[in-house]
Structure 1
């Protein structure tokens, strides 16, 4: 399959979380046109069966390919863990970049030898994450404290970034890993960067004065890897004054528009609503 340099890049997530990655892509690759797909009608992925996540990843990728994308970014830790290997097998000619928890950079920054991982249940239970964690603990002396953040992505998806309920969840999930001695916190879900201010509030209230806590967001690393892949395949756009961002959602058009405005401080050129057809059973 041949791809054109002026074709758009597709980015998808279970909802608005992937906007944290889209922001880094926009800053790193300002001349690229982007199509964002928010699967909000099926969110959150983190509490769904792996088979459901895989099917949604296939459906969305096929949809984006119909819009002639030249590269795909799976801007969702849960979908990356569940489906990226299968997507690469299915589309061997397509550049596919996923996201995974930044355990290695966290281990490098940690002084205590203990790092914490905030993620969804699906990510933490996935073989991909467990292999990554086990390799780290077997090859270094670093200990990994992991925390499934049930309900947190849903709060962020609703736009409740500063509510008392969201703060209570952040406090519930961050405090135990701080008490365990972690001095680096890995954000293992692309929704979580949007509540970094709340995480910092919990750190300020819980950590000892002067104790430095690193927060690891891997969105920038994804954008840089995407750029490298585009350069390698001669698909990088060097000059495009009409680069735009369009978006599709299986949820609320107004909610996604608000997310672009509030979270990214930028509008999408157009936001379209796609009916949630062929919804798989979620049992």
Structure 2
């Protein structure tokens, strides 16, 4: 089991932000990265659709014999992960959620922002997480970042600076940095435009949960004695749609491993 891969998936390029941190945190581990572009974007799916996609995807990944599955997307992690874990009890699953405790701890202005998909922003599960993790005296503003996530998935941020800046500015609106000082990047796609965000809002701190997830994976593997002790971890990449565009984006991000297209029946 220790030599089996850690599977990481989301609806496209977003997983790479988690993969990057995993390579630092658990360098010995073999990683299987599945970009499920056939179901992009997760952010506009219904609760039931999301749950079905998660269960079917995890069951599909069983053929690669993963020792652990990382759902590298906030939208399903926030909305359906607890249900999925109750349905799949024989395979450990780790998700990624908005790092609200961290944001609440860091803010001096007592006002934080959450950038996430439309689905996450509107979900009752996020409301519950905010109530549970953010003290009442701290204000929370939510930003629907779905237009930004869309342009990242299609590689626009790598080729068209003006359009990227325009869309990010439209999502955030005016005067954000006067009101708040911390914003969570609650989509795994968003770290790829962090240079744009820092240029637009230099006084705002952007919190990326990828490091938290990578540390969770390391602790989990160590605790259950599943960690690979030696060797250089290999990366296997699968994509379920739009291989050419996806390959172009990952190459531009410095990923050299071959990309294999797979065809899903769900």
Q: Mark yes or no: TM-score above 0.5.
A: yes
Shift of 1:179: 5.3
Q: 5+ unaligned residues in a row in structure 1: which ranges?
A: 205-211, 279-283
Deviation sequence 1:164-215 (CA, Å, 0-9, x none): 22221111122347156110011110000001111112114xxxxxxx3211
Could you say what the CA RMSD is over the residues aligned between the two structures, in angstroms?
1.7
Alignment of 1:200 onto 2:198: yes
Q: What does 1:1-283 align with in structure 2 at a 5 Å threshold?
A: 4-137=1-134, 139-162=135-158, 163=160, 164-176=162-174, 178=176, 181-204=179-202, 212-241=203-232, 243-263=233-253, 265-268=254-257, 270-278=258-266
Match of 1:207 in 2: none
Partners of 1:59 and 1:240 in 2: CA distance: 31
Q: Is the 8 A contact 2:177 2:201 kept in 1?
A: no
**How many residues are treated as equivalent by the alignment?**
264
Q: Is the 8 A contact 1:102 1:218 kept in 2?
A: yes
Q: Secondary structure at the match of 1:151?
A: helix
Shift of 1:276: 4.2
Q: Is the 8 A contact 1:43 1:154 kept in 2?
A: no
Shift of 1:275: 2.0
Q: Secondary structure at the match of 1:161?
A: helix
Partners of 2:14 and 2:222 in 1: CA distance: 26
After TM superposition, what 4+ stretches of structure 1 lie above 3 angstroms from structure 2? Answer: none
Per the normalisation by structure 1, the TM-score is 0.88
Q: Is the 8 A contact 2:7 2:70 kept in 1?
A: yes
Partners of 1:48 and 1:169 in 2: CA distance: 22
Shift of 1:102: 1.0
